[in-house]
Structure 1
Amino acid sequence: MRGQRPTGTDGEANSRIAKPGSRSRVVCISCCILNTLLGGSINVYSLYGPRFIRDLHLDQYHVNIISTTAMMSLYILIPAWGRICQLTSPRLLSFIAGILFGTSYLAIASMFTTHRTSTLDHSRPAFLTLLLAYTCIGAATSSVLMSSIIACTETLEKSPYKGFLSAVPIACFGLSGILESQVAVRLFCLPNKDIDLASFSAFLAIALFSTGMLGAWGLKPPNEVLDIRGHLQNSEERQTATYGAIEPQQLEGNMPAPGRGTCSPTALLKDPLLWWLSVANLLIVGPTEVYNLNLGTLLQSITGTDSVANQISHHVALLAIVSTVARLSAGALSDCLQRESSSTAEEQKYNLVSSPFVLFLAPAAVDVLGFLTLGTMVARFPKVISLTSASVGLSYASSLSLLPVTLSIWGTAQFPLAWGIISLAPAMGIGAFGYLYSVAYQYGMERGGGTAGFCVGALCYTSWAIICALAVGMSIVCVLMAWLILSNRRHR
């Protein structure tokens, strides 16, 4: 009978909502993983670039404009997607991504089908069509990423392993490069070793549309469960929770404590920390993404041949594996730093070695060496290009490491805006370093190192690689400045 069981207790209420909340978390995280595992199709652009030049009669400037525009649309729209997530739901972004992916890859498939059945020069309409298609692909990619990241951070907000678990969707985004490149090589390879890009693009259109629609159903963080628990429990513990090796007292007198929801957008925009971290992200992501997007033409310049599909697949796989391990490691180490910071003496918490900033500095230093290797050794020892690909893959951990730092400083309330701004900055870097790559490539061709629209020789890339090494070095300086500012705030 009802009189035999107490009603209205906290434990009973929690038991009524625990199972639905757990199921909701599992479904949400599963959709995040599936969405990002396929949503990184832009990582296989290097398979397309050389074929745009050979089959559609574009030049390197056209190819670079397409890739740069795609990446700029990816990063520029991140703040807008974050705001839409705040106002609506991650499910809406997944739906939009599915539509954009499906229509864009169908348009690309039709371009290659038209090329096979026509002998006319369609370079101008092909360029405009591809430019629009990849702009939409970039927008869809950022939509998938932002919806998955926000859904994960909301779902895992109270988890002690949220650093590692929040890195899983981003790591899956990196893995999508190796997955889709291997699908292209193994299932869509023609007898002449080329990829059937018409069929492969149609496959991507169907797969990405399907996952987008699935995410539109399943990307539902259990906010309702958390809200009910907030009414039943004292929420003070949740409000004062911190993450990483940064405590709320660090920002005393300068910025509102993280996790308390008192940081206004105006105060956030006036915080110099935000801009130091944004510039650092710009300087490390710009060279990294341009290298990734131009792997095809870069390998042609090094090897002197245009049949590099298998080599491109190898380097995309290498970059994806290293970046995935690096991202997961960065997330796990963030959790370790969080636990260590709660058990060490207060004066040790702000040591650079025990702060989340070290997770940016170490991979970035390796990335500097990778670009220096590309600029000084690859011309004589072509096989060491694998070292550059590995170091570039490792540098993705640097960009990811800024995510827990952002959570630590500004908390979950302002995370979408802060992370959106930091993620927006690389758009300018991609544009600048993409332009520099085109200039170096064209310079190499004009000096007699190119045939049939392709540049061959060290002049095509060495100067660009040295500039990239200097830029990544400057990103290290920016992060050190951010750490000094944060450390000084604590000691005031």
Structure 2
Amino acid sequence: MSSPLLKPADGKNGDEFRGGRNLSISAGTSRSITASPLSPQPSEILSIRRRQRLKWQRYSAGACALVSCLSAGSILLYSLYTPLFQRHLHYSQMQINAIAIAAELGMYLLVPIFGWICDNYGPDRLSIVSIFLFVPGYLSAAYCYNNQLPYMAMFFSFLLIGSGTVSMYLTGITTCAKNFTKKRGLALAVPISAFGLSPLWMSQVANSFFLKDSDDGSGTKELDINRIYTFFAVYLLAIGLLGSFFLKIYPDPDLDEITLRGETAPLLTSSPTAAEHVEYGAAVLSNDPNDIPPAVKRRLLNDDTRNFLSDPTMWWFAAGVFLTAGPGESFINNMGALIKTIQPVSRSLGSPTGDETATHVGIIAVTSTVARLFSGFLSDYLGPPVEPAPVRDEQESKRFRISRIMLIIIFAGFMQVAYLILSSGYIQLHPQQFYVISSLIGIGYGAVFTLSPTIVSVVWGVENLATNWGIIAMLPAGGASVFGFLFAAVYDSEAKRQNSGEHGLGDGLCFGLHCYQKSFAGMAASCMLAMVLWAWGWRGRGGWVARGVSV
């Protein structure tokens, strides 16, 4: 699509915009001084200084965004708490999953609201919001644990914690996505990878500094819930305050307005939103987001959202995210109970399994981080280019390409293989190889959550990314609820059967393959269905290929 507004004005050769003007200066003499075209003009010196300042401001914002993402994933330690909830608070597996689902609801259902705040008022304001969610959430959770309150009290505490998690997470990815638009795959992969790494260092800190003697007098160590929750409240208060100062959106000094509009406009050019983006870009004379009138920006973002919701392919894609994220979240939340289930009964009863669960939390963190970075790299360097009609050399045009949809399908396959292995009973016979399961799920889970927002930014543009991705990110909350309750229902049913006789183990514990086989068979089928839906949105009737969208 071309526009006369993007052409240089008549009679302009472009030199005057590069500081190559001739200046004649009279000083009471007959001589005139002509500035060399190569001499820097005062305006150029100011421009260079401004470019350098903007460069460092963007890098400082990016560094703070990584710190925020590295600190936002405390909720991913939930599997460390579940054995303690079960043993000390006597919560059933269904109640434990209900608390986990509360965190998922907070993380996903409020994303559109937080995304709207982030897009319209900036990530620094959202960082302040995260403080008012994390601090009361963790302090109230500590109070609930110390006083052995009913699970509904803990439910509302984790609802706040989940909301704080996604608000701080969104500040990081939005800051990076909007400050570094040239490599959008890596701009999303790096902060998302930092978020994936957060449970690694947090679990190690928890097992190193927040252990205490077990209350049952067995001489073993267990996690001190009160101290760790208090630590998170204070630490995340400090991180939220840091983000309120440094998480800003700055213009890219290396992009002119035409390039900027091309980077932020949606690729679905047949939509009314795309036409408005051209008109909007022509009306703005700089690439500084602060120069855009707030009323105009809000109107354009609202139009983007309406067109996004009316696109049928968005719902096919979102359904796939629902069907893959739900099983992944359920596995992570229930990993502590699952590890106890696959171990011999004598070992499970005599050990709190905290160290082993922390080890597998670390494995998931490392593998998901590697997968996030690797999938982001593949998206940028092997995925179809997204720049608006660039001029490429012959070697560039012959580079091997693979669709981002094929990438996300391949990585989702890793998760499906893990679920099939679990449902087959192989790990029940070889529990020492559980690291294979945690590694496969970490790889698939990390890559899917990196490629999904990347695909959203490629297909529908980056300008409204926080809101658009926030809408899709609501759906995993439903997936986590469905598959979390599926796991809990199968587990509790088998536990009730095992504990019905006089030789029952008590405490609602369950051991053996029948505690989880049907759950993971359903999760494997869910991943297969997700792959089909993604392929249909890509190549089906009215899909992106039919519209000419390179994804």
Summarize the alignment of residues 226-305 of structure 1 with structure 2, pairs less than 5 Å apart: 235-241=257-263, 248=267, 251-253=268-270, 257=274, 264-303=304-343, 304=345, 305=348
Show the counterpart of 1:427: 477
Matches within 5 A, 1:85-234: 85-114=118-147, 122=148, 125-157=149-181, 159=182, 161-191=183-213, 192-222=220-250, 225=251
User: Deviation of residue 62 (structure 1)?
Assistant: 1.2
- Cα distance in 2 for residues equivalent to 1:149 and 1:389: 25
Higher helix share: 1
Q: Who is 1:490 aligned against?
A: 548
Shift of 1:131: 0.9
Match of 1:440 in 2: 490
Q: Report whether the alignment pairs 1:25 with 2:58.
A: yes
Residue 206 of structure 1 and its aligned partner are, at CA, apart by 1.2
**Can you list the C-alpha shifts for 1:406-439, whole angstroms capped at 9, x where unaligned?**
1111112232232111211111111111110111
Shift of 1:337: 2.6
Compared CA separation, residues 332 and 42, structure 1 to 2 (3 A): same
Tell me, in whole angstroms, the C-alpha distance in 1 between the residues paired with 2:309 and 2:237: 36
Q: What corresponds to 1:118 in structure 2?
A: none
2:533 to 467, 478, 482: 478
Residue identity opposite 2:226 in structure 1 = A
Secondary structure of 1:357's counterpart equals: helix
The amino acid that maps onto 2:545 is S
Deviations 1:63-86 (Å, cap 9, x if unpaired)?
110001111210111111010112
CA pair 24-390 structure 1, distance change in 2 beyond 3 A: same
Residue of structure 1 in register with 2:458 after alignment: 408
Deviation at 1:441, TM superposition (A): 0.7
- Retained in 1: the 8 A contact 2:68–2:171? no
Identity %: 28
TM-score normalised to the size of structure 2?
A: 0.79
The DSSP-based 3-state class of the residue aligned with 1:385 is: helix
Indicate if the aligned counterparts of 2:271 and 2:307 stay in contact, CA closer than 8 A. Answer: no
Distance in 1 between residues matched to 2:84 and 2:110, nearest whole Å: 28
Q: How far off its partner does 1:7 sit?
A: 5.1
Q: CA deviation at 1:340?
A: 6.4
Pick closer, same or farther for the CA change 1:338–1:242 going to 2, 3 Å: farther
Supply the AA of the counterpart residue of 2:237.
F
1:16: how far off?
A: 2.9
Distance 1:344 1:448 in 2: 68
Q: How far 1:23 moved relative to its partner? A: 2.1
Q: Which residue of 1 aligns with 2:440?
A: 391
User: Which whole-Å deviations, capped at 9, do the CAs of 1:368-394 have from their partners, x for residues lacking one?
Assistant: 110011111122221232211111111
What letter corresponds to residue 172 of structure 1 in structure 2?
A
Q: CA deviation at 1:256?
A: 5.4
Within 2, Cα distance between the matches of 1:325 and 1:339?
Answer: 22
1:47 and 1:312 in contact (8 A); partners too: yes
Mapped contact 2:264–2:463 kept (Cα < 8 A)? no
Equivalent position of 1:119 in the other structure? none
Write out per-residue CA displacement over residues 113-170 of structure 1, whole angstroms, 9 at most, x where no aligned residue.
Answer: 44xxxxxxx4xx342321111000000011011111111111112x3x3321321111
Q: Name the CA shift for 1:189/1:22 in 2 (closer, same or farther; >3 Å).
A: same
The 1:26/1:151 distance shift into structure 2, 3 A limit, reads same
Is residue 87 of structure 2 the alignment partner of residue 54 of structure 1?
yes
Gaps of 5+ in 1: 115-121
What residue identity is the alignment partner of 1:275?
A: W
Corresponding residue pairs, total: 465
Change (3 A) 1:482 1:388: same
Tell me, yes or no, if the aligned pair for 2:93 and 2:488 is still in contact at 8 Å. Answer: yes
Contact residue 368 and residue 472 of structure 1 kept, 8 A: yes
- Higher mean displacement: 172-181 or 443-452: 443-452
Which residue identity does 1:394 align to in structure 2? I
CA contact (8 A) 2:119 2:467 kept: no
Cα separation, partners in 2 of 1:151 and 1:252, compared to 1, 3 Å: closer
1:471: how far off? 0.4
* Contact 2:123-2:248 at 8 Å conserved across structures: yes
- Structure 1 position 444, deviation (Å): 1.1
Q: 1:323 is matched with which residue: 344, 349, 368?
A: 368
Residue of structure 1 equivalent to 2:380: 335
Distance of 2:463 and 2:264 partners within structure 1 = 13
Alpha-carbon RMSD across the aligned residues, in angstroms, is: 2.8
SS in 2 for 1:453: coil
Checking the alignment, whether the CA contact within 8 Å between 1:101 and 1:205 is kept in structure 2 is: yes
The 2-side partners of 1:221 and 1:280 are apart by: 31
Pair 1:337–1:12, CA change in 2 (3 A) = farther
Amino acid at match of 2:466: P
Letter in 2 for 1:324: T
Equivalent in the alignment of 1:451: 506
Q: Tell me if structure 2 keeps the 8 A contact 1:337–1:354.
A: yes
Letter aligned with residue 489 of structure 1: R
Give 1:234 deviation, angstroms.
5.2
Q: Which amino acid aligns with 2:260?
A: R
Contact 2:102 2:156 in 1 (8 A): no
1:268 maps to a residue whose letter is F
In structure 2, C-alpha distance between the alignment counterparts of 1:56 and 1:298, rounded to whole Å? 19
The one-letter amino acid of 1:390's match is S
Cα deviations by residue, 1:349-379 (Å, 9 ceiling, x for unpaired): 999x611112201111111110011111122
Q: CA deviation at 1:13?
A: 4.4
Moved more, 413-422 or 176-185: 413-422
- The answer on whether the counterparts of 2:420 and 2:524 sit within 8 Å (CA) in structure 1 is yes
Given residue 291 of structure 1, which amino acid in structure 2 is its aligned partner? F
**Partner SS state of residue 114, structure 2:** helix
Partners of 1:254 and 1:489 within 8 A in 2:
no
Name which one, 1 or 2, has greater alpha-carbon Rg.
2
Listed one character per residue, the Cα deviations across residues 76-115 of structure 1 (whole Å, up to 9, x for unaligned) are 111110101122111111112123212221222233444x
